[in-house]
Amino acid sequence: MNKIDTTLVPEPTLRRMPCYLTYLKLAQQNGAKVVSSTQIGHDMGVDPTQVTKDLSYTCIVGKTRVGYEVELLISELETFLRFNTMDCGYLFGAGSLGTALLLDHGLTQFGFEIVAAFDVNPDKIGLNIGGTTIYHTNDFKRVKHDDVKIGILTVPVEHAQEVADIMVDNGIEAIWNFTSVRIKVPDSVFVQNTSIYAHLAVIFNRLHS
């Protein structure tokens, strides 16, 4: 394990943090001012020791036998997760799932905005879906801004690698891969695989076994 890895926040921690945030916001709505890691753990079904460890990655420290100040912890988590600043990204593949993401307003609440979308279907080029214009994938180089580093991949699986290559060649540094194929990218590029359909496999198995 190299030095960089040891300083990275573990992925499971990062995935739990938005859940803590949601939990804390609900607690705040219900009037809570202070909450302990024991309470958070109990309510969320997470080991309280894990809760303390996860939250220690932010700058905030809970008080012994008291807990965390809810308002402060919410603010710290939002800053830590960068949910209170807007990151921009491009979407590749305005098909069924891509269109769904363009129409979903949830992303902006978590600090993410799709600023342009790309597709190769002539019927889609020039359309505006949910406020986002669809361009031809060939125009990516011309349309792109250098400060946008995130690309969402929702193309058909047979084009996933080819489109990932186009993204990487043009400066995308993080790919959110919604397809069910694994893509190959240079080490400097981060890939987050989010195949929601893969979760169906777990549901079907658990339901019928």
Residue 121 interacts with its own copies (CB under 8 A): yes or no: no
123 exposed, middle or buried (CB, 10 Å; 0-12, 13-18, 19+)?
A: exposed
Residue 59 interacts with its own copies (CB under 8 A): yes or no: no
User: Total binding residues for its own copies by CB under 8 A?
Assistant: 68
Span of 22-30, 48-56, 119-127, 133-141 interacting with its own copies by CB under 8 A: 22-30
Which residue lies nearer to its own copies by CB, 22 or 49? 22
Which residue lies nearer to its own copies by CB, 58 or 137? 58
Residue 127 interacts with its own copies (CB under 8 A): yes or no: no
Q: Cβ of residue 64: shortest distance to its own copies, in angstroms?
A: 26
Binding mask 83-112 for its own copies (x = CB under 8 A): x---x--------xx-xxx-xxxxx-xxxx
Q: Which of residues 76, 127, 149, 171 is near its own copies by CB under 8 A?
A: 149
Binding site for its own copies (CB under 8 A): 7-9, 11, 14-19, 21-23, 25-26, 29, 43-46, 81-83, 87, 96-97, 99-101, 103-107, 109-112, 149-150, 157-158, 173-174, 176, 179-182, 184, 190, 192, 194-209
